[in-house]
Amino acid sequence: MTPEILLADLVYARRLLEDGLSDPQVMTSLIARGINPLNAAEIVTDLRHNREPKLTPRYEAGAKPPGPAPEAKASPELARGRRRRRPSGVPWWALILCLVFIWALWYAWLKTGVESSRDLISHDKHALPEHPSKEIQR
């Protein structure tokens, strides 16, 4: 519900009353348009008694509507927190692609490292020498 009463709402209510609708029907129509029920009742009463209903003041284009006192406004730190977050400069798919690439490099390095260590162990040149005391006994 809005507390604003616009000129279009008054014209609409006048037309409904001129068409012969009852007060509750006009109030229901105004409430359906989003007007506060107390304001709708006040409009119908004023129109029935040939009084001009109070309009909500409208502001000229470019003029600022009155707001809270300057000391009551939020600090710049709080105002910054309410702003919409800007997306980061790096798209999410690029991060996933980098992670997959790093994992592939790590896997290839691990795979070649295991195979090369097996090759080194299988060569005779890397076999452990016999104990020196066994050579002397021959």
Give per-residue pLDDT as tens, 84-116: 666 667 788 899 999 999 999 999 888 776 666
Give per-residue pLDDT as tens, 6-15: 888 888 988 9
Q: Would you kindly state where each structural domain of the chain is located, as residue ranges?
A: 7-48, 92-124
More confident residue, 133 or 11: 11
Q: What would the DSSP string read from start to end of the chain? A: -B----HHHHHHHHHHHHTT--HHHHHHHHHHTTB-HHHHHHHHHHHHTT-PPPPPPP--TTPPPP-S-GGGSPPHHHHHHHSPPPPPSS-HHHHHHHHHHHHHHHHHHHHHHHHHHHHHHHSGGGSPPPPHHHHHH-
Give per-residue pLDDT as tens, 32-91: 988 888 888 888 888 888 888 877 765 555 556 555 555 555 555 555 555 666 666 778
